[in-house]
Structure 1
């Protein structure tokens, strides 16, 4: 028995051992492939760079965003360096080639986007990049397809019903004071978004009485500030009804809208047909031209041509959403650039796994321990 066994063993070629370098390379390749698949299929990490969602989300919060809730998108730009977005880390070198652009589909998800969801999406106006590589934005969904959205004196309405303000949403105020306020004082009241006033803001503050600060804070903190000796007055900054802000979407003289008095505007819904009159062209012309996959769209104030043919009505090919930041006076959102197409939706923000204060009082307070593993609502 032993002789036969030895012959069998001798007939098999010896297995070549991997070198340490080869094992190291294999481990890296496996890790990159696994991380890429997890990032694409299941969950992706993001960080909050701006205060547009305060106080729900703070600058320095690190989040996990679920791709499973709304369904994972298939890749549109396959020629891309793994685990990158627009550029190779630490350089200005593009991390992708747009030579191949694939049709994009969405795998089945747990749910659809709902009113009140905190959503990550690709910034629609950024058309210098492919859809799936546009800058990631995070906002709260205010209107879903078919909803009528309106803002009346800072209060949001959806389908003529009050849309409840997020618990810690912020508003801009003018804080009148006769003295300089230190950063520590603002820190004490959890105010991170402020600037000293050097001139008046519209008609809200008299021209000879502009000594103070523009602050963004919650109504509860505003009431607390009114009781402090160093505060001589606290006024809400509001754009009046009828004032036309040229920065507001759509940039048309047909609509005297601003960030505090906006709409009503209907969110486009797949399958719905609209007449292309002057107002609808102003409201939805950009949608038809940029996000619907139409070729050669020509727009004027009174007409639309697709492939050279005049059209008097249009049926939307996909769903759209209306997004707003919780820091209503410091958020570049749908009021400024329009609707979010469904194919731009990345995922749902689910929880905060780390939070780092960019301006801590001390090194020991660098990590905001009370925000770790907090569910996002």
Structure 2
């Protein structure tokens, strides 16, 4: 409810600005000046007078799409009053309500005669260019609508979900899988997630120019939520502990498998996953992998192994007696086959010791803890192979707060559920009041990668709030081996297209994926068929006019 109330306020503010800056122009168009203040209808009139599709008016106040369409409609209106120079168009886009107001209140703003019989050749050519630019703009707007409101493309740059999702897979994500999460930053550059560009390793990510206006914000709201993430679902979500972006929907997107839902108990025992005390169920599309240390008497042929097994990040180290290899992402079957190689002296699974706490530091004195690389919560003697048991918070849970439990819940209280939290003199204060308990306001999930030993997942960043959930991957539309550099490996895979993975379903749980090549074929047929019929219609209209 807060979302729609806030959104309505934004619409009314924009409508008032539109009315103040254009009411005289509407009067000169022959309309009641008050129509300039009416949301949607004001743009409907502009489209009607400039002979453009009037239904475009419904796009004028949509998040992200709206600002683009508003700029287009403002340009149409200014052109109607003869403002066609580049400086006019530039000012209309950059300072819309200010520039339109100067035209609105000027004494020389008059309607231009647009009778095509009196157009010069230059004016006719300019009109063709405007028509072309309009087509391009609408194509961009249409793509933006699909991107914002239906499905979003997503690339896999790391091997944390091997072999379910491969490095270089490009997916379409269904934003309606768990109910549609309404945009929270409505003023943004289309197709960009969080920043316009990355300054690289030497720069501070917080200084990178943002692709959205952080000051214009809407609260979290999800509509038509008929399902919630279930155990075994592959889920796309926004990284909870992203310190660069405060907007939930602008945090970095991650993809992992939901291994435990709200109310479940999660545990790792010697690198094996348990939920509610039982070993995990392995689905047909899921292959569990582990890290192995392989000792050999002579050098292995890594390119040959890569061609045999596919994804194979490996670090090679030469010793006095031969070579030592650290393999990530080996299934039990692959490990057995590598063990048979004649060069192999020894192979063993690399499992961390029980009781060893995986804490990372940002300084040599080990005083500043790097929470992004440390096991969650930081006060437990856990690591990624021996973890838990940890209960996943559920909406309505009343949890006990003390110095031992606070590290487990502090991010939930202060960041995910937006309360003020203080811990001073051994006492805990929430929103200024001392307390020893807290009621959880939303469901949380445990998201872990299938490639457990090469995954920065919930064992490090903790619980994933429901509000961070984006949706389910639908299918892989492109798969490119070698598309991303693998910093964890001393071997770089050769570039090639994986044709066998393209247009295959992602989230079915089945070993043999459903193919969606027919969707690609239909899209191409509809695209070229539409172009053909549009050209045919235009030709017929021209012939009729003659």
TM interval, shorter chain, is: 0.7 to 0.9
Deviation at 1:299, TM superposition (A): 2.9
Q: What is the root-mean-square deviation in Å for CA atoms of aligned residues?
A: 2.3
CA distance in 2, matches of 1:242, 1:311: 31
CA distance in 2, matches of 1:238, 1:221: 17
Is residue 147 of structure 1 aligned with residue 264 of structure 2?
A: yes
Deviation at 1:198, TM superposition (A): 6.6
1:75-131 per-position Cα deviation (integer Å, ceiling 9, x unaligned): 111221122112226885321121122111011145210111111111111132021
Correspondence for 1:355: 479
Q: How does 1:153-168 map to 2 (within 5 A)?
A: 153-165=270-282, 167-168=286-287
Correspondence for 1:196: 316
**Matching residue within 447, 451, 455 for 1:327:** 451
1:341-364 per-position Cα deviation (integer Å, ceiling 9, x unaligned): 111111111211111111565x7x
CA distance in 2, matches of 1:360, 1:197: 19
Distance 1:360 1:214, change over 3 A: closer
Correspondence for 1:373: 503
Correspondence for 2:382: 257
CA distance in 2, matches of 1:333, 1:301: 33
CA distance in 1, matches of 2:425, 2:272: 31
Correspondence for 2:185: 77
Larger radius of gyration: 2
More helix by share: 2
Q: Is the 8 A contact 2:299 2:322 kept in 1?
A: no
Moved more, 42-51 or 163-172: 163-172
**Matching residue within 422, 426, 446 for 1:298:** 422
Q: Is the 8 A contact 2:299 2:323 kept in 1?
A: no
CA distance in 2, matches of 1:302, 1:235: 46
CA distance in 2, matches of 1:293, 1:210: 56
Distance 1:284 1:210, change over 3 A: farther
Q: Is the 8 A contact 2:195 2:211 kept in 1?
A: yes
Q: How does 1:192-231 map to 2 (within 5 A)?
A: 192-197=312-317, 211-216=323-328, 217-231=330-344
1:48-75 per-position Cα deviation (integer Å, ceiling 9, x unaligned): 0011111111110011111111111111
Moved more, 346-355 or 299-308: 299-308
Deviation at 1:147, TM superposition (A): 0.9
Moved more, 177-186 or 313-322: 177-186
1:202-248 per-position Cα deviation (integer Å, ceiling 9, x unaligned): xxxxxx98931000111110011111112111100001222222221
Distance 1:171 1:120, change over 3 A: same
CA distance in 1, matches of 2:321, 2:258: 38
Deviation at 1:23, TM superposition (A): 1.3
Q: Is the 8 A contact 2:299 2:343 kept in 1?
A: no
CA distance in 2, matches of 1:34, 1:152: 49
**Matching residue within 221, 236, 241 for 1:105:** 221
Correspondence for 1:116: 232
Correspondence for 1:205: none
CA distance in 1, matches of 2:436, 2:318: 50
Greater RCO (Cα-Cα under 8 Å, separation 6 or more) = 1
Correspondence for 1:202: none
CA distance in 1, matches of 2:233, 2:477: 18
Correspondence for 1:171: 290
Distance 1:373 1:303, change over 3 A: farther
Deviation at 1:190, TM superposition (A): 2.6
Moved more, 175-184 or 117-126: 175-184
2:254 partner SS: strand
How many residues align? The count is 352
Moved more, 342-351 or 275-284: 275-284
Is residue 278 of structure 1 aligned with residue 403 of structure 2?
A: yes
Q: Is the 8 A contact 1:248 1:257 kept in 2?
A: yes
Correspondence for 1:128: 244
1:312-363 per-position Cα deviation (integer Å, ceiling 9, x unaligned): 11001111111101110010000011011111111111211111111565x7
CA distance in 2, matches of 1:114, 1:60: 26
Correspondence for 1:313: 437
1:185 partner SS: helix
Unaligned runs of 5+ in 2: 1-113, 200-207, 360-373, 483-491, 510-546
Distance 1:191 1:35, change over 3 A: closer
Deviation at 1:184, TM superposition (A): 1.3
1:214 partner SS: strand
1:19 partner SS: helix
Distance 1:198 1:133, change over 3 A: farther
Distance 1:183 1:316, change over 3 A: same
Deviation at 1:29, TM superposition (A): 2.2
Distance 1:210 1:182, change over 3 A: closer
1:265 partner SS: strand
More strand by share: 1
Deviation at 1:191, TM superposition (A): 4.3
Distance 1:194 1:82, change over 3 A: same
Give the 4+ runs in structure 1 shifted more than 6 A: 15-18
